[in-house]
Structures are given as C-alpha cells and as structure tokens.
Amino acid sequence: MAGVVQSVQALASSLGALPPEFVRPEHERPRATTFRGASPLQIPVVDMSLPDAGCRMVEAATEWGIFQAVNHGVPADAVAELQRVGREFFALPQEEKIWSDNLFHTISPPAAVNHGFWPDKPRGYRQANEAYCGRILRLTLEVLERLSAGLGLEEGAMAEAFGGGDDGLVLIQMVNFYPPCPQPELALGFAPHTDLCALTVLVANGVPGLQVSMDGLWYDVEHVPGALIVNVGDQIEIFSNGRYRSVLHRATVSREKTRMSWPVFVEPRREYLVAPHPRLVAGEIPAKYDYKAKTFENYRYCRINKLPQ
C-alpha cells in the first residue's frame, strides 16, 4: 500500500497547490463559516479542583457539549511522553510506519488490547500510551459521575450502563497528524462530525485547528496550556435524552505548522443498547431517540458506513 498511495504527509511536502480532491465546497470552507471578531461565546474552561467543577461540567455539556479541563490530575510528564512518542512515530521514514496520517488502537480494557496493532517504534511507545491511558480512565470515570449526577441519577449510573465500570469501558487511542497545507483556506483536516462514542478526551500540540459549531457558525477552541479537551459524544446525548449535547466539530489546517492531536474515544461495550436512561423518559417526558433495541456495535457500523440509523 505504501508504494501505491502517498500519505497526506508525503503529498503535502511536495506540492505548492492543493489537489482538487482536497478542495472543500465553497460553503464548507473555513474562511466562509468561521466566526470573526470579538466573540461573547467562549468554550468553557472547568477547573476540576474546585468545588463547583461538577456544576460547570453539567452546564458545559448542556450548552456546548465540550469543555476544557484544567487541574485534571493527569501529570504533565505523562502528556509530554505521549506526545513525544507520537511525534517520533510520524517522523519515521514512510517504509517504517503504517501507511496513514492517523494511528489508532484499543488501549483498554486489557482483554481487548492487541499489541500486534501497536507500532514497534519509537522506543517507549507502548509504555507511554499505557501510562496515559490509566490516568485518562480515572478522569473519564469522574466526568461520567458528575454528568450522571447532573441528570438526577446515581453517580455510577452512566459508567454502569456503558460498561460496568473501569473494566468494561472501551478506550481507543488515536493520533492525528495534520501537515502544513499550501492552501488551508480551501481545505479541512477533518470534516464536520459528532463523535459516535460516549466521550472523547483530547490533547493537542498547541497548534490551533479544532473548531466547534454553535448557532450555525464555527468557533475556534483556543489553546489553554495544560488543558485536556472533553467532548460529549452521541451516546451521552442519547443516554441523557437530549439534555446533554453531542458537539459538532471539525479540524482546520495551517499553512506553516503541523498540527497533531491525541484523542481518546470512550466507548460503551458492544452489546450496550443505545437508548435514553429509563428514568429520563418517565411520565410525560417522551423519548427523543428510538433506535429499536439497536446495540452500540450496530450503531457504530451504521455511522462508519454512512447507513441510516
């Protein structure tokens, strides 16, 4: 494959203009749709060490479907090591790495991990990802607890439904590589989408690019040093019967700089039935989502293959 199809990384380094297949329709181009000027809307920043952190998470999940977490308990050296091995992987010669401009593999639970899909290089890749995963799992459980309580449910309700605790939730690590683009005003690094999972926890390399949609316009997610970006995904929106919002987002690209991001996707177990929690559709409150006993495995298959749900 590597000898037949060039990666975007290799292609970008050899071009002065964007190939036609990467040019977005005019109404989708970043410049035409991104909010410009002093915005009264700011993506929430939640200090997880403060007593009101739970309330702030609930407000952010309700209004935006995204927040930036600071004082989150994930050590800076764990993040730095994760980023080091990611950068070194994409710096390898093309023949020494998987053909792609992103990399992903399951990192939890242990029974679902297949290290045969993990890179052999660079040194310390496995150790860095496993150490980071352990910290992200603890953060994930705390966020799920706070969001469950915000719905008037027991703190463990969401985690229990999705996977039965820390040994049932599925965590998938992805590394995205967005090389410099000769005409960034015509392209997107990632088209608009919501995440099909329950929750996404993301760290980037500080290069701007992530945007979220609000009221038909796109807003930049400003870089906050040391923060982790937490996205609400489809499964939490559905579980909450629409009280929380699965955030519509996209990625732009830079003319001069390489952007990298490390999202961890938190997924329910495969057999999880996609539906609102029963206590959130009781009485006169109707279910806003009815997937007719669809499992998460089937939901994911339909989304990936662009089939109707």
Contact 162, 268 (CB under 8 A): yes
Tell me what the pLDDT averaged over the chain comes to. Answer: 88
Contact 271, 297 (CB under 8 A): yes
Q: Using the predicted structure, report yes or no on whether residue 187 has a pLDDT greater than 90.
A: no
pLDDT, greater one: 29 or 120? 120
Q: Using the predicted structure, report yes or no on whether residue 221 has a pLDDT greater than 60.
A: yes
Q: Indicate the pairing of strand 228-232 with strand 66-70.
A: antiparallel
Q: What is the pLDDT of residue 6?
A: 46
Q: Using the predicted structure, report yes or no on whether residue 48 has a pLDDT greater than 60.
A: yes
pTM check: above 0.95: no
Q: 246-295 pLDDT, tens per residue? A: 999 999 999 999 999 999 999 999 999 999 999 999 888 899 998 888 99
Confidence of residue 2 (pLDDT cuts 50, 70, 90): very low
Number of neighbours of residue 292 by Cβ within 10 angstroms: 8
Give mean pLDDT, residues 202-229: 92
Q: Can you list the domains of the chain with their CATH numbers? A: 24-271 (2.60.120.330)
